Amino acid sequence: MLYADSHIHLQDYKTQDIKNIVNTAQKNGVFVFVNASSYPADWSKIAELAAEYPNIIPAFGIHPWYINDVPENWEQKLKQYLKKYPKAWVGECGIDRLKNPDIQAQIKVLLPQTELAKSLNRPLIIHSVKADDAMREIFEKLPQKTIFHSFTGSSEWGKQIQKYGFYIGLNFSILRKKNAIEIVKSLDSTQILLETDGPYQNLESRTETLPQNLPNLAEKIAQMLNITLSEFQSILQQNWQNFIGE
């Protein structure tokens, strides 16, 4: 088994059946899925899927797009879910300036999540869009096991993230960048994980990305890094082990 999909939203697929998605992906070498939530209404479904599939790791959190729509006791509920699922990650959470210029409001919902991740020693998934400065200011508040998912930032920003020990999650969206090769080459390949962010982030618009396409993404990134696919696969497997600490 070769690939970890470090970020997917299985509960969001409209045209595909989850069982099919998981089975077909497994046949194509995907051995684990980190299933990310976006808001508290997702959490019960995320928990259900994790109970049903041993290779789905649940992630519980509040995405910055949905911070205005959370129940008052969300922190308590989040903690309960995390305690009930000892393998669960926190996320996705973060800051998105493109969607919402009110950074402070987003930080207010983000920080309790970073604190929970730290205190319970869980990996944290960060969604960061046009928010380099604001994120940099809270670097020290993030747990060591933090991944900046769906990275499409600059080489400079990527280096800063990795220098701090954090990981970078790449999906098909990086291939849309004009200077994708330059960005990918500038990254430390030992702190990269692949993801689909399915059903989102497909190269063709209005179709759903599937985790069975991860080998295809791996091949393209390996080419950019100027290494063979099997070399890249070993790097990815090692990275996964390092990141989850096994």
Under the rule (CB under 5 A), what is the footprint of Zn ion? 197
CB of 230 to Zn ion, least distance (A): 29
CB of 31 to Zn ion, least distance (A): 20
Token pair recorded at residue 224: 């950019």
CB of 125 to Zn ion, least distance (A): 8
Nearest to 20 by CA among 244, 210, 246, 214: 210
CB of 197 to Zn ion, least distance (A): 5
Angle at 4 between CA 33 and CA 205, to 5 degrees: 75
Closer to Zn ion at the Cβ: 56 or 222? 56
Closer to Zn ion at the Cβ: 5 or 197? 197
By beta carbon distance, the residue nearest Zn ion is: 197
CA distance 155 to 138: 20
CA distance 217 to 171: 7
CA distance 246 to 238: 10
Contacts of residue 154, Cβ cutoff 8 Å, sequence gap at least 6: 183
Closer to Zn ion at the Cβ: 65 or 164? 65
- Using a 10 angstrom Cβ sphere, with 0-12 exposed, 13-18 middle and 19 or more buried, the burial of residue 167 is buried
Closer to Zn ion at the Cβ: 93 or 221? 93
Closer to Zn ion at the Cβ: 96 or 197? 197
CB of 181 to Zn ion, least distance (A): 24
CB of 198 to Zn ion, least distance (A): 9
Closer to Zn ion at the Cβ: 3 or 197? 197
Q: What is the dihedral of CA 232, 238, 244, 246, to 10 degrees?
A: 160
